[in-house]
Chains A and B, each alone.
Chain A
């Protein structure tokens, strides 16, 4: 079955450490997105990509980095510059940028700073 796979499901980060969240899709979607979800707040866009080797900053990109070397993969690195990284991270994809037919989301990665 086609879908989006995020790993790991749970991740613990020490202070000053960089961590990378994986996102892989086999839907042949062009566009991919990373969102952050915090209690009481709507999903906030971190980065998005329309095509391979191209990506754009979202509303809260500071402290994060991404790459898009393959159509299927869009990993997110949470750097030590991100001061409050504890959150639920969601990766999504859509047929085209904007998602007229809706986004397909992964099951998320819960990141906790220890």
Chain B
């Protein structure tokens, strides 16, 4: 069964303590992996799209990377305002334009 798994479920870091979030997928014919940020009670905000193994995208303190079976969202020297839930989603197959979402990683940055 095609699925998307994110780990860890929750992560608490001290301000400035770098770490990585993981998104692994078991799908056939990946046609895009997406990262979103979601603040409590709000809709997700688009961060990155990755299409092929080896691709990397950066935005401020965030860098997303992609391999054949997983993606990492690296956060460098995080600040309290980076606290949020980070969602991963994949699009796979041909003729299937839907996104399948993971359950997210809840990140808390402690001042």
A interface residues, Cβ below 8 angstroms from B: 4, 6, 31, 35, 40-45, 48, 58-59, 90, 92, 97-108, 110
- Contact status B98-A58, CB under 8 Å: yes
Chain A contacts of B45 at CB under 8 A? 105
Total cross-chain contacts (CB, 8 A): 62
Q: Considering the complex, give the chain B residue whose CB is closest to the CB of A105.
A: B43
**B43: which of A45, A102, A107 is its contact (CB, 8 Å)?**
A107
- Contact status B42-A107, CB under 8 Å: yes
15 inter-chain pairs at a CB distance below 8 angstroms, sorted by A residue, are: A4-B43, A42-B87, A42-B89, A43-B44, A45-B99, A92-B43, A99-B91, A99-B99, A101-B46, A101-B49, A103-B34, A103-B46, A105-B45, A106-B43, A107-B41
Query: B100 contacts the other chain (Cβ, under 8 Å)?
Result: yes
CB-based closest 7 A-B pairs: A105-B43, A102-B46, A42-B101, A98-B97, A43-B101, A97-B97, A42-B103
Q: Considering the complex, give the chain A residue whose CB is closest to the CB of B41.
A: A108
User: Which residues B32-71 have CB closer than 8 A to chain A?
Assistant: 32, 34, 36, 41-46, 49
**B32: which of A58, A97, A100 is its contact (CB, 8 Å)?**
A100
